[in-house]
């Protein structure tokens, strides 16, 4: 317990001082709202002010929350006297703003002029807040400013570095309600794991949580998507004049193109689409139907080489007689055969040639060839 307390105070001290002395932080968002005449829409703060204030407010809220958390954690462990922390050598923070020389409380100065207490940016910001809140702008602004002023006085009074943490806590209201679970929708990207998990579990948070309430109107505001001021990094003339530069990595580009194409492939939605897929994979005859598809070798060979085979008889076959007769029949048969390549046909004829040469003696004997 002790260690946690001291640790919390040691690590948190810097942050605590910073937030305490951050004079904006003392003006909570709730206070702003209570000042203005517009009733709050709901439990949520008006977040949509489209200006620096939104961000400043967020920061304020974050700072305030941090502070509250820290104070709450200190407060819950306050069985240990806070004075304990005295023994620790806490680093003394530097005052955040350039301050006037620290004044003792006995000689409280007359309220300095507005500009001195409240920086011009802050004043300007206040004006904008007042405007964005609507209602009686001037009244709101002056109310805000007066509150700021009073806080500014408070802070400048307490800006003298305090040695004692417990002194700081006096008069500070710590919001203990922080211990209640805060239903805050976790920030998520538009399309993320959350979604997926929710889908898997089949549950979804009820819409009350999903829809953050928006304050701005739903009026259509036109955005010209090409109407911005160009960056003027590239000059258009130059790029038009230049030829498209060849990519340095053709294989990469081809692979990428293929992968991209695959990301949009869906399971075939009808038989035709499936046939397209099969055609691309080379499993189907391609349209329009062509009997010679895939016969790449044959394309180089003319039909005459298939049909006129007698030329291959020249030189070895007798000019007439039964062998000539037989070989002519062979040639006719081969010329009508669509299933054999020219090479095979030639090989057939050559086989007969060899055969007859082997049997040359017998053939001569029976007079099938002339001597």
Partner 1 sequence: MAGAIPRCSVRHLQRLFGSCSISAPVRSVRTSSGNRAEEIVIPNRIPRSSTDILEALASTVGRDSSGPHYKYSDDPYLTPASNVAKRSFSLSKESGRKAARWIRDKHSDLFTHRPEDPFIEAFYPKISFTDESDVSEDTLRELMQKCMVSDAIQVYQICKTKGVELSDSVRQELLEFLGYYNCEDALDEDWVEERWYRQGIMSRDRIRNTWKDHGLAEELFKSLSHQGSPAYCALIRGMTRYYQVDRAWQMYQETLEKGIPLDTETYNSLIRVASLMREGSDLRWKLVKEILTAMSEAGVRPNLGTLNSTLESLSQIASWRQTKNLSLQVMAEFNRLGIQASLASYYFLLIIHCRERGPISHILIDIMNHIADKEFSIQDPKDTFFFVTAMDVCRNHLHSKELAKRVDDLLHTGNNYMLIGDSYKESIYYRHYFALSCSTDTVDQFMELYNELVPHIYTPEPGVMEELLKALKVHEALEYLPQLWSDMIVFDHTSREKLLMSVLSAMTCHQPSEDNTKLTEQLATIAWDLWTRVQRMEEDRRNKITWSGPMIGDLLTTLVRCGEYSKGVEVMQKISADPHIVLGSATVDSLQTLLDAAIGNDEANTGVMVVVYAVDAGHQEAADMAKKLGSSLTLNAEHRAKLTSVLGIDIIADLKEKEISES
Of 240-299, binders to partner 1 (CB under 8 A) are: 240, 242, 244-253, 255-256, 258-276, 279-283, 286-288, 293-296
- In the complex with partner 1, which residue's Cβ is closer, 106 or 225? 225
Burial of 53 (0-12, 13-18, 19+ CB in 10 A): buried
Of residues 288-347, which lie at the interface with partner 1 (CB under 8 A)?
Answer: 288, 293-296
> Which of 138, 154, 195, 357 is the binder for partner 1 (CB under 8 A)?
195
Among 98, 173, 180, 193, binds partner 1 (CB under 8 A): 193
- Pick the closest to residue 306 from 342, 258, 344 (CA basis): 342
Q: Is 48 in the site for partner 1 (CB under 8 A)?
A: yes
Looking at 211, 299, 300, 320, which residue binds partner 1 (CB under 8 A)?
A: 211
35: Cβ–Cβ under 8 A, 6 or more apart, which residues? 140, 143, 144, 147
What is the SS3 assignment for 97?
coil
> Residue 203 Cβ, how far from partner 1 at the closest point, in Å?
6
Nearer to partner 1, 12 or 46 (CB): 46
CB of 218 to partner 1, least distance (A): 7
x/- string (CB under 8 A) for partner 1, residues 61-90?
------------------------------
CB 279, min distance to partner 1, A = 5
Is there a contact between 40 and 46 (Cβ–Cβ < 8 Å)? Answer: yes
First to last CA, the chain: 126
The binder of partner 1 chosen from 14, 94, 100, 196 (CB under 8 A): 196
Exposed, middle or buried by CB within 10 Å (0-12, 13-18, 19+), for 10? middle
Q: Which region, left, alpha or beta, applies to residue 211 given φ > 0 means left and ψ of -120 to 50 means alpha?
A: beta
Stretch that binds partner 1, among 28-36, 63-71, 189-197, 361-369 (CB under 8 A): 189-197
Computed on alpha carbons and rounded to an integer, the radius of gyration of the chain in Å comes to 47
């Amino acid at each position: 317990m002790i260690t946690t307390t001291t640790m919390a105070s040691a690590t948190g001290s810097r942050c605590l001082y910073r937030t305490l002395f951050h004079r904006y932080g003392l003006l909570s968002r709730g206070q702003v709202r209570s000042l203005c005449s517009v009733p709050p829409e709901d439990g949520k703060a008006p977040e949509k002010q489209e200006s620096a204030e939104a961000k400043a407010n967020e920061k304020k809220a974050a700072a305030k929350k941090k502070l509250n958390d820290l104070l709450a954690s200190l407060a819950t462990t306050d069985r240990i006297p806070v004075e304990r922390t005295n023994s620790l050598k806490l680093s003394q923070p530097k005052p955040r703003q350039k301050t006037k020389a620290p004044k003792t409380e006995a000689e409280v100065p007359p309220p300095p002029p507005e500009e001195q207490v409240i920086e011009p940016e802050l004043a300007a910001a206040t004006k904008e807040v007042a405007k964005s809140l609507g209602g009686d702008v001037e009244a709101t602004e002056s109310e805000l400013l007066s509150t700021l002023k009073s806080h500014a006085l408070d802070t400048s009074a307490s800006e003298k570095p305090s040695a004692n943490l417990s002194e700081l806590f006096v008069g500070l209201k710590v919001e203990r309600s922080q211990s209640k679970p805060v239903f805050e929708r976790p920030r998520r990207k538009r399309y993320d794991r959350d979604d997926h998990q929710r889908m898997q579990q089949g549950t979804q948070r009820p819409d009350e949580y999903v829809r953050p309430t928006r304050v701005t109107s739903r009026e259509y505001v036109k955005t010209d998507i090409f109407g911005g001021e160009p960056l003027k990094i590239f000059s258009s003339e130059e790029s038009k004049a230049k030829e498209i530069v060849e990519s340095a990595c053709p294989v990469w580009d081809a692979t990428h193109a293929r992968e991209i194409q695959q990301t949009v492939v869906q399971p075939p939605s009808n038989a035709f689409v499936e046939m397209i897929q099969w055609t691309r994979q080379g499993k189907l005859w391609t349209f329009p139907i062509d009997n010679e598809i895939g016969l790449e070798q044959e394309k180089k060979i003319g039909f005459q080489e298939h049909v006129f085979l007698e030329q291959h008889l020249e030189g070895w076959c007798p000019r007439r007689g039964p062998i000539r007769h037989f070989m002519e029949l062979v040639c006719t048969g081969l010329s009508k055969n669509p299933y054999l390549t020219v090479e095979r046909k030639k090989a057939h004829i050559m086989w007969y040639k060899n055969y007859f040469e082997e049997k040359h003696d017998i053939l001569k004997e029976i007079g099938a060839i002339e001597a």
